[in-house]
Amino acid sequence: MSKRALITGITGQDGSYLAEHLIAQGYQVWGLIRGQANPRKLRISRLASDVTFIDGDLMDQASLVAAVDAVQPDEVYNLGAISFVPMSWQQSELVTEVNAMGVLRMLEAIRMVSGLDKSRGGGGGGGIRFYQASSSEMFGKVTETPQRETTIFHPRSPYGAAKAYGHFITRNYRESFGMYAVSGMLFNHESPRRGAEFVTRKISLAVAQIKLGLQDKLFLGNLDAVRDWGFAGDYVRAMHLMLQQDEPSDYVVGTGRIHSVRDAVRIAFECVDLDWEDYVAIDPTLVRPAEVETLCADSTRARTQLGWEPAVDFRELMAMMVESDLSQASRERDYGDLLSATSW
């Protein structure tokens, strides 16, 4: 019989790739969808028509219990979050509610539906396996390079602090109730489906618009920030593999290759034969109150124990994103496409 998976954050970048991957593996996939007439539902239906939607919100405990009870999943992937770091300074409480308390609520939903008794602990863990979308932002002001599973956390934003709570509460439910609950400590991963507010997509969209003469300048913040950027389609394979092991464990997932924002801009402009220095300007308001200067993954455990390897390198990734935005922007320019250039 085919396995059943419930994905929160189904309308996001990772939710879409994971849904496609699981369906290709023969899973029945449910996606938790929040709000009334969520416009992003249509995007997922177009990409993965086999996904069944179920209402729920990480802010609402009862809705999560109802969703888990209705789906009776073998695996739950908790990808839902407010994922844009700068928003976590503007709306710290909301981000903490969703990104930290939301994890606790999802774990509680699984515990309740599985009938695990809080007063006893230990337990058989129930049959539902849980994946938490942890983040390299937890490493923040890094204490060692590259970062691995044992590297100490020093979050630099309310987002990173909330993710650290989600990480530890996931481990705590594993240790307290024997749940198969794991965290993937994923480094930045991008794609043509990345939100337009994140730096790589902001760059690829601008490069496309500039090439077509639709935009003059690209304003950015800190060009010196360094990230370990990979392709989202590669990273969802790691999420799935983490739930297929004999023993639950947390894994760092990244490429181990680093680039600065300046490198990303240069490479993206090179894709369309333009010199980035003619178009990029600094907007100091885009510099963050506390920056994560550099992140670099040591994914040795994921490579050796999960057999995971990334397939797309950074230059290919930027080229893929620029190409996609170029073709979308030219369609929009030529045919007045009803879809905006940022949609997929």
Reference 100, options 151, 143, 58; nearest CA is 58
- Please, what sign has the CA dihedral across residues 132, 137, 141, 142? positive
137 has catalytic annotation = yes
Residue indicated by tokens 């947390």? 250
Token pair, residue 319, equals: 């080229």
Q: Give the one entry of ligand G4F, ligand NAP, none that residue 195 binds, where binding means its C-beta sits below a cut-off of 5 to 8 angstroms depending on kind.
A: ligand NAP
**Binding footprint of ligand G4F, residue count (CB under 6 A):** 22
Confirm or reject binding of residue 133 to ligand NAP (CB under 6 A).
yes
28, 61, 83, 88: which one binds ligand NAP (CB under 6 A): 83
What is the Cα–Cα distance from 272 to 70, expressed in whole angstroms? Answer: 49
**Binding residue for ligand NAP (CB under 6 A) from 4, 13, 183, 226?**
13
Based on CB atoms, which residue is closest to ligand NAP, 84 or 124? 84
Asked if 57 contacts 34 with a C-beta cutoff of 8 angstroms, the reply is yes
- Cβ partners under 8 Å of residue 15, min gap 6: 7, 8, 9, 31, 44, 79
Of these residues, 135, 191, 204, 324, which one is catalytic? 135
Nearest distance from C-beta of residue 94 to ligand G4F, angstroms: 15
Dist CA 222 CA 199 (whole Å): 10
The answer to whether 199 contacts ligand G4F (rule: CB under 6 A) is yes
Pairing between β-strand 259-260 and β-strand 226-227 as defined by DSSP bridges:
antiparallel
Site for ligand NAP in 43-72 (CB under 6 A): 57-59
CA 192 to chain centre: 13
Q: Are residues 35 and 42 in contact, defined by beta-carbon separation less than 8 angstroms?
A: no
Stretch that binds ligand NAP, among 74-82, 271-279, 284-292, 323-331 (CB under 6 A): 74-82
Q: How far is C-alpha 308 from the chain's CA centre?
A: 17
Cα(134)–Cα(149) distance, rounded to whole angstroms?
A: 11
Q: Segment 282-301, which members bind ligand G4F (CB under 6 A)?
A: 286, 288, 291-292, 295
Answer for which of 121, 127, 195, 307 binds ligand NAP (CB under 6 A) is: 195
50 binds, among ligand NAP, ligand G4F, none (CB under 5 to 8 A by kind): none
For the chain, count helices (H), then strands (E): 12, 13
Question: Interface with ligand NAP includes 176 (CB under 6 A)?
Answer: no
Q: Is 263 in the site for ligand G4F (CB under 6 A)?
A: no
Residues at the interface with ligand G4F (CB under 6 A): 83, 85, 135-137, 187-188, 197-199, 202, 220-222, 225, 227, 261, 286, 288, 291-292, 295
The residues carrying an active-site annotation are 135, 137, 159
Residues at the interface with ligand NAP (CB under 6 A): 8-15, 32, 34-35, 38, 40, 57-59, 79-83, 98, 133, 135, 186, 188-189, 195
